[in-house]
Amino acid sequence: MYLYKAPELLNHEMHGSLGISQFERPYDFAREARVLPLTLPEFTSAHMFYPIIFTDVDNPVPLVVVGASDDVNLFVEEDGQWVAGAYVPAYVRCYPFALAASSDEQLAVVIDREAQVINDSPERPFFDGDKVTAETQTMIDFCGRIDAERKMAIEFGKRLNELGLLTGHQATRTPPGGKQEVLANYVAVDSSKLTELGPETLDDLLNKGYLACIFAHLFSLENWQRILERHIQKTLAGLD
């Protein structure tokens, strides 16, 4: 499980005395993330801040780019906070909870036992007696919603693949007086192929809400410049 160091199935026997307390550095766990999973309903908010890309052409799953060439999340500040005003992806907001599917496709609640917000003197216990608390149930329901939306994102990627819309791209930069450098290789929709689709296919994409996501994705690619600028700023700050 991406970013989860010690995932354990949540149960009363092992975790009855545990819970969550406020942590001054809530996003430290995502400090080394370069990309994060994204669901379809998030495209509208995320495209204003991050490039939205896909994992690959054959099995495309949407991701947001939060880092450049090194393992540094450019949107986690030195104090462990997310950059003020920037959209925080739901995958991060679910932490330290998640849902995991067993071999028979049953969903189980998982926690990252190494999460720094988890302790045995919690402000918000996981359990009240042998039942989960209302706050825990709220987080479980949130994770359930995100899991359902994640499956929608997978279907979206499959449809793009079926239509042959995805191709490999490069994000590049040219330093002053230098040669062009490749910032990242990534998979995205080829807008020229989009214009070749027939009206029936476009209507289908529109009715499923996919067309809006495609345009949000294409608009988001302008944020590669934002990523580059933040990368340069952090690099220069580290040299001070």
State residue 105's pLDDT score. Answer: 65
1 in any annotated domain: no
Would 62 be classed as within a structural domain? Answer: yes
Give the total number of structural domains in the chain. Answer: 1
What number is the average pLDDT over the span 185-214?
A: 96
Any domain includes 97:
yes
pLDDT tens-digit readout, 61-78: 999 999 986 788 999 999
**Range scoring the smallest mean pLDDT among 14-18, 178-182, 184-188, 206-210:** 178-182
Please report whether residue 2 resides in a domain.
no
pLDDT tens for each residue of 96-120: 999 987 656 678 899 999 999 999 9
Strand 107-112, strand 7-9: pairing: antiparallel
Q: 146 lies in a domain?
A: yes
Q: State both tokens at 81.
A: 């906070």
Give the contacts of 197 (CB within 8 A, at least 6 positions apart). Answer: 163, 205
d(CA 62, CA 54): 4
User: Does any domain span residue 221?
Assistant: yes
pLDDT of residue 1: 84
Q: What domain range includes position 55? A: 7-239
Range 33-40 average pLDDT:
96
> Phi, psi (5° rounding) for residue 34?
-100, -30
| pLDDT number for residue 235 | 74
pLDDT of residue 68: 84
